[in-house]
Amino acid sequence: MHLRFPIVFSVCCMIALAACEPTLASRGNILEPEKLAEIKPGVSTREEVATKLGTPTQVSTFDDKVWYYVGRETKQYSFLDPEVIKQQAVEIRFDDQGLVTGVTNLDVSQAQDITPVARTTPTFGNDNTFIQQLLGTLSHPTPGVSQKREGQ
């Protein structure tokens, strides 16, 4: 009995300490400075940029000659809000021939949070619960299935 308590206590302490380990998350594409320095305006092409940096996080909606590489690394302890460790946004512009015209590190401190609109798009039909759908299916069987049963 006396041997069990220290073992159980040690296991509980290890579990509690393991719960304090942060969760690291990486979203997007954080570029290495050495790879970014290899991109030269007037020399590098789209293909070279895609090969060296990977595919862009976003291509501009209105101008496909502008690529964005956006990334963020966060650390989160259990249920607390995540803490941003590193954040980066890079804009790469191309000319009509596909050559790089500019590489810009964007200031992410000027980024603004947006609030999505809470409205929903109206749709036709009924808004049934799972149970209503299940009971509706039982009361109105599929026409093809009932015809097969009658013709057997």
Per-residue pLDDT tens digits for 98-111: 999 999 999 988 88
Burial class (CB in 10 A: 0-12, 13-18, 19+), 57: middle
Does the pTM of the predicted model rise above 0.75? no
Is the separation of the CB atoms in 106 and 91 below 8 Å? Answer: yes
Q: Which residues pair with 89 in a beta bridge?
A: 70
Residue-averaged pLDDT of the chain: 85
d(CA 86, CA 142): 55
pLDDT tens sequence across 71-97: 999 999 878 889 999 999 999 999 999
